[in-house]
Structure 1
Amino acid sequence: MFETGEEMRGLMRRRPGLYLGGADGFALHSLAEVVLRSGAVAARERGTREVSLRMGADGSCTAVFDGWSCPAGVEAMPEEVEGWLSLTSYDPRGTRPEGVARGLVLPTCYDDLAMVSVFSSSLDVRVWGQGRAWGQRFREGIPQGGMRPEVLDVPASDSGLRLVFTPDASLFAEPPREVSEEVIRRMRELAALVPGVLWRFHDARSGREERILREQGLADLCRESTASSGPLHEPWSFEGLSGTTLFRLAMQWCERPGEGSACWGNLQRCSHRDIPREGLRRGLHEAVSARRAALGYRQVKLPFSKSALATGLTAVMELVVPVPIWHRHTHDRLETPEVESAVAGLVAKWVEEALARSPELEARLLPLAAVRAPSMRASRR
């Protein structure tokens, strides 16, 4: 076990695959993921209005968080950013949150940017605000001097952060073209999770360029996913709190099979058998049963299989846990029976009310639930 930040930096350099999942294109995508996730959090917490990532023909990458600011004021900007990018002051033996016994624990996701610094042969950072600018260079995660004042010689927004880094060629293989596709896919997800923020991507090698903006967040993602499936209505959007956990949902039924359900927890995609989606299924069952009772159906409670949920329905949802422990345990806090029950309760209330306001759609959906029940029982025989 490492005792200092410098020892940890050395271990990371010797075994990059341990931290990035490999030393190929996947590893380079992992570095891009760190930057994009930090940009999404900066948009939520720091006022960032635009996140851009450019992959240069020379192998360099440039990331810009336009509008990024520091809550402590412009004078605190240089020190805060310098702390993120360096492991020299990191104390592996420091106080850990309750329940976390070992492993790398980062107080904010921005500290993840130290990985980008460690795995880059060079990294240049520039931060600016209120007409002032500072810059610093890192080599293999080691700062080359402190933050220095710079002349703000190009037109810029009021504040922002720019990183120019070159992944160390001695650690990584040549990036495959598929890396661009993965980065764009991730940008499209984050644009839905952080609505109203502009995302830009440019790959100088392939010439690929993307501009992504989702003003309505998850609803836009849902609408895009169902465009060719014959949507029966505009996406329904819901948002609510269960304790301190925020839950967002967009859903839409279509004439033809939909995309099923997808869930993110604190910007990370959840597993295909996650608890929140079980809560969604339960909530739909309860909503359908409640509406059948309200309309006088004889058989009120019906089985509602997972296949029935996937047929014709597309649902995208997100859970936001406050003050997460980055890298560890956020998903553990989402994979509990309490979370499933909370999601089920919110979904049941939302969908029951939405169905009551949509009699034509309800008239199509409730009979479908009745048809699916016998086939489900038959499959159990």
Structure 2
Amino acid sequence: MTTKKKGYTARDIQVLEGLEAVRRRPGMYIGSTDERGLHHLAYEIVDNAIDEAMAGFCDRVAFTLHADNSVTVHDNGRGIPVDIHAMTGRPALETIMTTLHAGGKFGGGAYKVSGGLHGVGSSVVNALSEHMRVEVRRQGRLHYQEYKRGEPTADVVDAGPIPKADPLRAGTLVTFTPDKEVFGHTRFDWDTLLTRFREMAYLNKGLWIICRSEAHPEDDRTFYFEGGISSFVRHLNHNREVLQAEPFYMEETQDTNVVEIALQYNGGFYETTLAFANCINTVDGGKHLEGFRAGLTRAINNYAKKSKLVDANTTNFSGEDVREGLTAIISVRMEEPQFEGQTKGKLGNAEIKTAVEQLLVQHLEFYLEEHPAEGRRIIEKCFTSQRARD
């Protein structure tokens, strides 16, 4: 039995200032302090660079994993603003790096589409780092600031004009060392990082992501995919017998929501479907995945009946029937994504379910009508799946 505490007054109420709350309860912000949480730090900084790419201001992101387990990320985007922020009276750079819910992702001003909902990414990484240095190349000048466990060690420094020999003329460079007080001796896993960054390159066709490991230079990688998520599907199916020569692909905007889908069937028995929202891998699914599954089932059944490949009165494929042997990527881009949890594992926007379902039915039915041989093979695959379940 616990001992009862007699008093409970205003003096018992703690108010945590600044980023102290992050250090006291890091799991609330990054999910955990194990290997998964550690990798989330790297993803947050890279996601900020990807946001610049989605906004059309960046086409190159470089990631370096140093031998001491520190990380450097730099992009050739616009660079974080360094002018004085009206509300805080401090440079915008310092405000973003040291204040929760501060950034250009609210209100749709600097970013129409971004992966950052909570506005906590950079400041949380800063709070959970032994050391961080941010360099900004913007409007021809170089500024930087350094931090220790979330606190600035000095004011933002104006280092003067960018040297002509500097190959990086604009953009942001962030170097951070995860805090051993928080993460112990957990280290970044290079293969895990490469898997994530390969995904990002697939989701942003035309974006270069250069990955360098000081500990394993033989494993350095550069990712660039002009084919985008169609290339992603081909990559996932590369050792499988496919039913379509090329993946089905669609991209369309409904209202302000961009829906992009690629899919291809193979001769296997398992489904591989990945769903992304604003380049965030929503590992727990959400409304976009629900819309995809509903739209896929509708489109396959509609086509099978219209083309008289099945008896319209007796045959109706289930969701399981139409997803066996399916490889698919769903990528949606939204101005106001509603993610569940700080780690953004599930998308909650109800309206995206309708958009994905409607657009997929429209485009996939047309595709099947235009590719009758592939359509017949897909329906036969669904029949086989249905019979195996009966």
User: What is the TM-score when the length of structure 1 is the normalising length?
Assistant: 0.82
What is the deviation of 1:2?
Answer: 6.7
For residues 301 and 70 of structure 2, the distance between their equivalents in structure 1, rounded to whole angstroms, comes to 56
How many residues get paired?
A: 358
The one-letter amino acid paired with 2:149 is E
What residue in structure 1 maps to residue 348 of structure 2? 334
The alignment partner of 1:11 has SS state of helix
Distance 1:282 1:44, change over 3 A: same
Distance 1:222 1:298, change over 3 A: closer
The one-letter amino acid paired with 1:222 is V
Q: Is 1:30 paired with 2:43?
A: no
What residue in structure 2 maps to residue 348 of structure 1? 361
What residue in structure 1 maps to residue 229 of structure 2? 218
Q: Which moved more, 1:46-55 or 1:15-24?
A: 15-24
What is the deviation of 1:243?
Answer: 3.5
For residues 276 and 361 of structure 1, the distance between their equivalents in structure 2, rounded to whole angstroms, comes to 25
Cα deviations by residue, 1:267-321 (Å, 9 ceiling, x for unpaired): 2223456443333233233223332343345612633234333323211101222
What residue in structure 1 maps to residue 149 of structure 2? 140
Judge conservation of contact 1:188–1:212 (CA < 8 Å) in 2. yes
Q: Which moved more, 1:283-292 or 1:344-353?
A: 283-292
Cα deviations by residue, 1:247-266 (Å, 9 ceiling, x for unpaired): 11011122344652111123
What is the deviation of 1:371?
Answer: 4.4
Judge conservation of contact 1:257–1:312 (CA < 8 Å) in 2. yes
Cα deviations by residue, 1:194-243 (Å, 9 ceiling, x for unpaired): 22111122222243322111222211111111111122321121112344
Paired residue for 2:260, among 230, 245, 248? 248
Paired residue for 1:81, among 93, 107, 113? 93
For residues 298 and 108 of structure 1, the distance between their equivalents in structure 2, rounded to whole angstroms, comes to 45
Matches for 1:349-368 after TM superposition, within 5 Å: 349-368=362-381
For residues 364 and 304 of structure 1, the distance between their equivalents in structure 2, rounded to whole angstroms, comes to 15
The alignment partner of 1:281 has SS state of helix
Distance 1:36 1:110, change over 3 A: farther
Supply the RMSD in Å over aligned alpha carbons. Answer: 3.2
Q: Is 1:278 paired with 2:290?
A: yes
Q: Is 1:118 paired with 2:127?
A: yes
The one-letter amino acid paired with 1:334 is G
Among all aligned residue pairs of Structure 1 and Structure 2, give the percentage whose two residues are the same amino acid: 21
User: What is the TM-score when the length of structure 2 is the normalising length?
Assistant: 0.80
What is the deviation of 1:10?
Answer: 1.7
For residues 124 and 359 of structure 2, the distance between their equivalents in structure 1, rounded to whole angstroms, comes to 38
For residues 43 and 203 of structure 2, the distance between their equivalents in structure 1, rounded to whole angstroms, comes to 15
What residue in structure 2 maps to residue 307 of structure 1? 320
Judge conservation of contact 1:61–1:165 (CA < 8 Å) in 2. yes
Judge conservation of contact 1:250–1:317 (CA < 8 Å) in 2. yes
Q: Is 1:264 paired with 2:276?
A: yes
What is the deviation of 1:85?
Answer: 0.5
Q: Which moved more, 1:299-308 or 1:232-241?
A: 299-308
Q: Is 1:291 paired with 2:303?
A: yes
Paired residue for 1:60, among 67, 70, 83? 70
What is the deviation of 1:36?
Answer: 1.7
Paired residue for 2:332, among 319, 324, 328? 319
What is the deviation of 1:89?
Answer: 9.6
The alignment partner of 1:170 has SS state of helix
What is the deviation of 1:26?
Answer: 2.7
The alignment partner of 2:124 has SS state of helix
What residue in structure 2 maps to residue 103 of structure 1? none
Judge conservation of contact 1:57–1:204 (CA < 8 Å) in 2. yes
Q: Give unmatched runs, 5+ long, in structure 2.
A: 1-12, 108-114
For residues 84 and 158 of structure 2, the distance between their equivalents in structure 1, rounded to whole angstroms, comes to 13
Distance 1:279 1:209, change over 3 A: same
For residues 202 and 320 of structure 2, the distance between their equivalents in structure 1, rounded to whole angstroms, comes to 26
For residues 76 and 192 of structure 1, the distance between their equivalents in structure 2, rounded to whole angstroms, comes to 37
**Which structure features the higher share of helix residues?**
1
Distance 1:241 1:18, change over 3 A: same
Distance 1:109 1:213, change over 3 A: farther
Cα deviations by residue, 1:150-186 (Å, 9 ceiling, x for unpaired): 1434422331100112222232222345x22221111
The one-letter amino acid paired with 1:61 is V
Distance 1:27 1:339, change over 3 A: closer
Distance 1:189 1:42, change over 3 A: same
What residue in structure 2 maps to residue 163 of structure 1? 174
What residue in structure 2 maps to residue 150 of structure 1? 159
What residue in structure 1 maps to residue 6 of structure 2? none
The one-letter amino acid paired with 1:217 is G
